[in-house]
Structure 1
Amino acid sequence: MKIATFFLIGLLGLLAFCQTSPKKMKADLVLLDGLVWTGEEAPRWAQAVAVKDGEVVGVGSNDQISQFISSTTQIVQLEGQLLLPGFIDSHTHFLDGGFYLAQVQLDGVTTKEEFIQRIETKAKELSPGEWILGGNWDHHDLIPPQLPRKEWIDAVTPHHPVCVFRHDGHMALVNSLALKKAGISRETPTPPGGEIIKDKTGEPTGILKDAAINLVTKIIPEPGIKEKLAAARRALAEARRCGLTSIHDMSGLDAFYTYQRLLEKGELTARLTLYPPLRLIDSPSELEKARSQSDPFLKIGGLKGFADGSLGSATALFFEPYLDRPDFCGLLAEDMLPEGTMLRRLIQAEKGNWQVAIHAIGDRANHLILNMFQEITERYGFRERRWRIEHAQHLKPEDIPRFGKLRIIASVQPYHLYDDGCWAETKIGQERCRTTYAFRSLLDSGAHLAAGSDWTVAPLNPLTGIYAAVTRHTADGRHPGGWIPEEKISVEEAVRAYTWGGAWAEFAEDKKGTIRPGKYADLVVLDRNIFEIPPEEIKEAKVVLVVVAGRIVYSSLKKD
C-alpha cells in the first residue's frame, strides 16, 4: 500500500499544492514526511501539510510543502506516521463526562463487594450531606448478572444521598436517603415514560428508569460555575488525548454558556456544537439568543429529543416484546407524551429552521421517528434539513432504505456493539439482532453515517469505535469473526464517519472533515497506519499529535 500511496502522492500531490501558491505565503506550521490521508477524492494521499492562520494552505510532497517554510515556521517531522483530519465525535454528553471523571466510577465492576467498596470509598472522600454521583455500572458485568439494590449501599452511605447511573444513562441506582429526599415510597406511582422498580412487597428497590430518574435528579443541587469550568477543562483534556478536534455535545444551554466562558479565556481546544433539549422549542427565545452567538469554536447545532430508552435498561421501544419480559415492549420517552407532542415540536423546528437529532433505539421507536420525518418532508417539501436519528440501533429491514431516501443522518456509536453483542440476543433474539448496528446496510442504502462515542456511555477514544465498526468484536470474545459480520464496514468508511461524516452532520463539511487548502487546520497524527495493520490492532493505536486551528494542543512526539 505504501508504494501505491506514494505513487499517488507524486502523481496527484500537485493538484492540492497548486491551489495555494507558496511564493508570497509562508506557513506558521509545516508537517513533513508523513503519510497523509486527506479524505478527499483527489489527492487521497499526500506527504506533507502547510498551515497558516489556522487553515490548511498546502497539501503535497515534502519538496512542494518545503517552499512554504520561512525562518519563523514551526516544523514537525512526522517520520512516516499517519496524519488524518481531526476526529469528530458526533454524539457525547461532554460536560457530564467532565464531571464523571471526578465522580465515583463503577465501570468494570464485576462483584457486589467491589460495587459497595467503591461507593464506600467515595463516601469517605466527601463531607456529610454531599451527593455521591457518577456510576457507569453495567449489571450484565456482575457475576452473576443482577440489578443492584439500595440495600447494597445503604449501610455505607447513611449520610450521603446516592444517584449512580447505569452506563447508558437510562437507569440509576439510588439509596434510601435519596428516595426519602425525593419523596419516593411504595405509594409513588410510576411516571409516564419511566419506571420505579419495586419488589414483591411493593417497596422500591432503588432502581429507577428513564423519566422516573427525574424525580431524584431534580433535587440534586446544581454545581457552581467553578465546578462546571473544572469539569469542562477535564473533558477537554480527555478530548485532546483522544485526538478529537470537534465534538457534538447533547447538553443544554447551561453547558453552552460554560463553554463560552472558556472561549473568552482562549481555553477551548476543540470545536463544540451543542444540541440542547427539543422541549426548549416551546419557548424558543433563549435558543435563538444562543444560536445568534455562534463562533467557529462554539455553536448551537440543533435540538435533541428522545423517542425511547435503551436496550440494556429494557426501555427501548420494540414492536415485539422482550424475550425476558414477554408482556413488555419498552417505553415511549417523555418527549413522545402525550401523543402528538413530538410531531408538534418537529413542526415548530421545521418552521424555525432547526436541525433536530432524535434518540431512537428500538425498532418501533426508529419507525415512528422515520414516519414523522417523512410527514414533515411531505408536508413542507424537500430541503437540506440533515435531520438526525441518534443511535439508529435496532431497525426493521424495510426501514433501512428510508434513511437514504429521506436523507436522514444515522448518528451511530459503533463501540456500543462491543458491549451489546454479549447479551442482546438474550433480550430480543437472533432475528431482530440481524439488523442491529446495521452500518453496512445503511451505507449501501445511501445513508450518511456520523460516528460518535456517546461518552460516558462508551469510551471517548474514536479508535475504539473504528475498531468496533471494522471488526464487530464483542467484549466476551465469542465472535472472533464479528457479531453479525455482514454489517462490517471498511477502515476507510469508519474513519470517514468519524471525520467527514461528523462535519456533514453539522453543516460544516466546507470547513472540516477532510484536509485541503481553505479548511480548518484541525489534524491528528497516529503512531501507526491503521489502514495497513490488522484490524484487531486498531484499538491499540495511539494519538501522538493534535492540531486545532493550526495550534498544537497535544503532543507526545519525541523531541530532538
Structure 2
Amino acid sequence: MKKFIKMSLVLGALTLSVNSCSTRQKVDLVVYNACIYTVDTSFSIHEAFAVDKGVFLAVGSTQEIRDCYKGRKELNLQGAAVYPAFNDAHSHFTMFAHGLSHADLRGAQSEEEIIERLQKHYELYKPDFLEGDAWDQTLWENKAFPTNEALSKAFPDIPVYLYRVDFHAYWVNDKAIELAGVKPGDPSIKPGEALLHPDGTFTGIFLEDTGAAISATAPSPNNATLKKYMMEAQNICFAYGLGSITDGGLLLHEIELLDSLQKEGLLKIRTDVWLTPSEENFARFQEPYLSDRLDITTIKLYIDGALGSRGALMYKPYSDDPGNYGIQVTSDEDFLDVCRLAQERGFRVSTHAIGDKGIRKVLDFYAQFLTPGNDLRWRIEHAQVVAPEDFKRFGELNIVPSIQPTHATSDMGWAEQRVGPERVKGAYAFKDLIQAAGWAPFGTDTPVEVFNPAYTFFAAVSRTNLQMKPEGGWYPEQILSREETLKGMTIWAAMGSCREKEKGSIEPGKWADFVVWTDDLMTIPIEEIPETSCQMNFLGGEQVFP
C-alpha cells in the first residue's frame, strides 16, 4: 500500500536554541525532518538542507540546519524521501508535446482496435488528417506488420499517419501515399524502406527516412499551438518528478521556439537539446550554447533503425526474418563529416545505434576522433545488441552508453525471437555496459516509453513487467542495484550532458532541483515501486509541482 505522507509548511521564524551558529542566516527555504539521498560521491543520506537564491546552501542534520538557517519558508517532511530531481537523459520532448494532439494507440491489441480508436478520435475532433502514436504489432495475435486496406477503407478521404511505438515504422493509408506522390520503384525510396505486396504494390508500411518523408506531408502545428502543447508537456514532466529532460534531434524552428519560451520564463524545465544535422542548424550554431534552462551542446545522429521494426543493423540476418540485416540510416561518409564538424566546433555526438553491426560501426567511427582518457563524452544511445568483444571498447575510449531500462521490459517478449538465443545475451545488457564504461545515463526515449521515473526505476531493479513476470527477472544477471539506478537517473544523467557541477546531486552550490517522493524507492518492496509518485517537485528552489 502506498503510504500517505503528511507534510506541513511552516512560514516565518521558529524559536530554537542556537548551538552551532551564533546567528541564524535568513534563506529562502529550509527543508528538514526528511530522508535525503544526496547522491554525492559517498552517497550520503542527510535530514535537512537550506536553499537560497536557487542553489543548495548547506546540507546536514535537522538540528544543524535549523540552528544555522532561518527559512522564509520551512518544510517539515516528517520522514519523507527526497532525491535530486530526476533527469531523463534520452527523450524527445517536442515530439511528445506534438503527440498530445494525436490518437493514442498504445497498448491496442489488434488492427481492429486501432481503427476503432481512430474513428473515436475523428468523431471527437473532426480533423483534416489523422495522426496516431505507439501502435505495436507485437501485441497482436498476428504479429506481422499490418497492411493498409482496412485503414484506407475506414478513411478514404483524409490522410492517416500512424507511428509505430519505436517511431521507426510508419503505417499510412492510400490517401497519405497519394499526397506524398511516391510510387513503387521510386528512386527516392532507399532499399528496404518500403514494404511491398507480392504484386509489387505498397503495403502501407514504410521505414526510416522514407516513412519520415511521407509523414512530412502532414501539416505541422503552428507555433501558438505547439507552445500550448509544450506547456502541457512541461506540466506532465513536473508531475512525474522530472527537473531535466533531453530533446533529441530538433530542427531550427523547434529550437528557436524552445529558446524563446525559456527566455520568456515559461520553459522552466532544464532541457538538453540535440541538433538534427541540418544545414540550417550548422549555419546557426557555430558553437555550443549554454543557459540555466536550455543547453545546445550535442549533435544527434542515427546509424540504424529499431529492433522492433527490424531496422537495427545486424551482422547476421534476423532470426525471425532470414535475409534481413536491417538498415544503415546514415552513410559512412555523412557520419564522418558530422563527427569532424562536431569536433571542430566543440559539440558532443550522440548516436542512435541498436544492432551489433551498427554499434561496432559507431565505435569504429568514434575511434577516429577520440583518444584514450578523453573526457568528450560522446555517446551511443540505446546500445541494445552489443557483440561480446565490443563491451570493453566503451571503457577504452570513454564512450558513454546511454540506456533506457523500460526498453528491456517492453521488448523482452519478442527480443529473443528477433536475434536468437546467443545474440540476446548481449542485448539490453545494462549491467555489462555500466561495468565496461563505469557509469551510464538513464532515459526513457519518450514518447516511445512513458516519462514516469517510477517505471524506469522499477524496470532497472526488477527486469520484469508490472505483473512481476518473468519471475526473478529477464536475464537477471543484468539487474541493476538501487544505488546504480538512482545514480543513472540523477548524477550520471547530469554527467551525460556535462552538467554534474550544476545538478544531479544535493550538494552546496548546485541548483536546488529536488523531489519529494510518496515512498522511499531505496527501501520499499520492489513490487510497490510502480505505484509510487512525485509528491512535490522543486526547480531552482521554486516549487513547480503541485
Instruction: Give the alignment partner of residue 353 of structure 1, picking from 339, 346, 349.
Output: 346
SS state at 2:151 partner = helix
CA shift at 1:186, angstroms? 3.2
What's the CA shift for 1:96?
Answer: 1.0
Query: Are 1:365 and 2:368 counterparts?
Result: no
| Cα distance in 1 for residues equivalent to 2:521 and 2:125 | 43
- The amino acid of 2:59's aligned partner reads V
- Partner in structure 2 of residue 221 of structure 1: 219
| Shift of residue 112, structure 1, vs aligned partner | 2.4
Tell me the amino acid that sits aligned with residue 327 of structure 2.
L
Alpha-carbon separation, structure 2, partners of 1:29 and 1:45:
19
* Distance verdict in 2 for CA 1:445–1:520, change over 3 Å: same
The residue aligned with 1:97 is: 96
In 2, Cα distance between equivalents of 1:534 and 1:103 = 36
Extract unaligned runs of 5+ from structure 1.
1-19, 556-560
TM-score (norm 2): 0.92
- Cα distance change on mapping 1:249 and 1:359 into 2, 3 Å: same
- Cα gap change, 1:476 to 1:139, in 2 (>3 Å): farther
2:116 alignment partner AA: Q
What per-residue deviation string (whole Å, max 9, x for no partner) do you get for residues 294-314 of structure 1? 311012021000000000000
Give the alignment of 1:381-420 within 5 angstroms: 383-420=374-411
Q: Name the residue aligned to 2:545.
A: 554
Query: 2-side partners of 1:427 and 1:92: how far apart?
Result: 25
**Contact in 2 for aligned 1:279/1:305 (Cα 8 Å):** no
- The 1:428–1:501 alpha-carbon spacing in structure 2 relative to 1, beyond 3 Å, is same
Asked if 1:533 corresponds to 2:506, the answer is no
Matched, 1:515 2:513: no
Match of 1:185 in 2: 183
User: What are the Cα deviations for residues 246-293 of structure 1, in whole angstroms up to 9, with x where unaligned?
Assistant: 11110313222222222233222310110011344x97221237x44x
Provide, for residues 229-251 of structure 1, a one-character-per-residue CA deviation record: whole Å limited to 9, x for no partner. 01211210110111110111103
Residue type at the aligned position of 1:143 = E
The change in CA–CA distance for 1:365 and 1:43 in structure 2 (over 3 A counts) is closer
Matched, 1:328 2:324: yes
Structure 1 contact 362–394 (Cα < 8 Å) conserved: yes
2:138 match: 140
Q: Rate the CA distance shift 1:397–1:126 in 2: closer, same or farther, 3 A.
A: same
Structure 2 Cα separation of the partners of residues 197 and 543 of structure 1 = 43
Partner of 1:79: 78
Please name the residue that 1:5 is paired with: none
Matching residue of 1:45: 45
Matches of residues 125-204 of structure 1 in structure 2 within 5 Å?
Answer: 125-127=124-126, 130-189=128-187, 191-192=189-190, 195-204=193-202
What does residue 308 of structure 1 align with? 304
Q: Does structure 1 residue 65 correspond to structure 2 residue 60?
A: no
Q: Is the 8 A contact 1:194 1:212 kept in 2?
A: no
Cross-structure match for 1:245? 243
1:255 is matched with 254
The TM-score, its normalising length taken from structure 1, stands at 0.90
SS of 1:202 mapped into structure 2: coil
Q: Secondary structure, in 3 states, of the residue corresponding to 1:120?
A: helix
- How much does 1:146 deviate? 3.1
Matched, 1:296 2:287: no
Q: Which amino acid aligns with 1:314?
A: R
The percentage of counterpart residues that share the same residue type is 30
CA contact (8 A) 2:110 2:137 kept: no
Gaps of 5+ in 2: 1-19
Change (3 A) 1:68 1:155: farther
Indicate the SS of the match to 1:434.
helix
Q: Deviations over 1:321-365 (max 9, x none)?
A: 1012111111101x2x2x322112212211211101000000110
CA contact (8 A) 1:123 1:157 kept: no
SS of 2:25's equivalent?
coil
The answer to which of 181-190 and 500-509 deviates more is 181-190
Q: Equivalents in 2 of 1:460, 1:346: separation in Å? A: 30
Q: 1:23, CA displacement in angstroms?
A: 4.1
Match of 2:515 among 515, 524, 527: 524
Contact 2:90 2:444 (C-alpha < 8 Å) held by counterparts: yes
* Counterpart residue identity of residue 162, structure 2: V
Query: How far apart are 1:367 and its partner, in Å?
Result: 0.5
**Separation in 2, partners of 1:485, 1:152:** 42
Question: Does the residue aligned with 2:182 lie in a helix, a strand or coil?
Answer: coil
Other structure's SS at 2:335 match? helix
Partner of 1:206: 204
Q: 2:477 aligns with which of 457, 461, 486?
A: 486
Structure 1 residues 484-534: Cα deviation after superposition (integer angstroms, max 9, x where no partner): 111111011011001011110111101111111100000011111111112
Which stretch shows the higher mean deviation, 78-87 or 340-349?
Answer: 340-349
- Deviation digits for residues 457-502 of structure 1 (CA, Å, limit 9, x no counterpart): 0010122111111111146865211111111110110110010111
Pick which of 250-259 and 475-484 moved more: 475-484
Corresponding residue SS for 1:88: strand
Assess if the C-alpha contact under 8 Å between 2:518 and 2:535 holds in 1. Answer: yes
Q: Match of 1:4?
A: none
Per-residue deviation at 1:389? 0.5
Partner of 1:319: 315
| CA distance in structure 1 between the partners assigned to 2:85 and 2:151 by the alignment | 43
Which residue does 1:543 correspond to in 2?
534
Give the Å deviation of 1:111: 2.2
Shift in CA distance, 158/511, structure 1 to aligned 2, threshold 3 Å: same
- Alpha-carbon shift at residue 190 of structure 1 (Å): 6.5
SS of the equivalent of 1:479 reads: coil
CA contact (8 A) 1:27 1:51 kept: yes
Structure 2 residue matching 1:450: 3-state secondary structure:
coil
Query: Does the Cα contact within 8 Å between 2:373 and 2:398 map onto a contact in 1?
Result: no
Residue 92 of structure 1 aligns to a residue whose secondary structure is coil
CA distance in 1, matches of 2:537, 2:140: 37
Post-superposition Cα deviations, 1:125-180, rounded to whole Å, max 9, x if no partner, equal 3446x221132110011123232221122233233211110010100110111010
Structure 2 counterpart of 1:421, which letter?
A: M
Q: Distance in 2 between matches of 1:22 and 1:527?
A: 36
- For 2:346 and 2:294, the matched residues in 1 are separated by 19
- Asked if 1:470 corresponds to 2:468, the answer is no
Q: Is the 8 A contact 1:422 1:475 kept in 2?
A: no
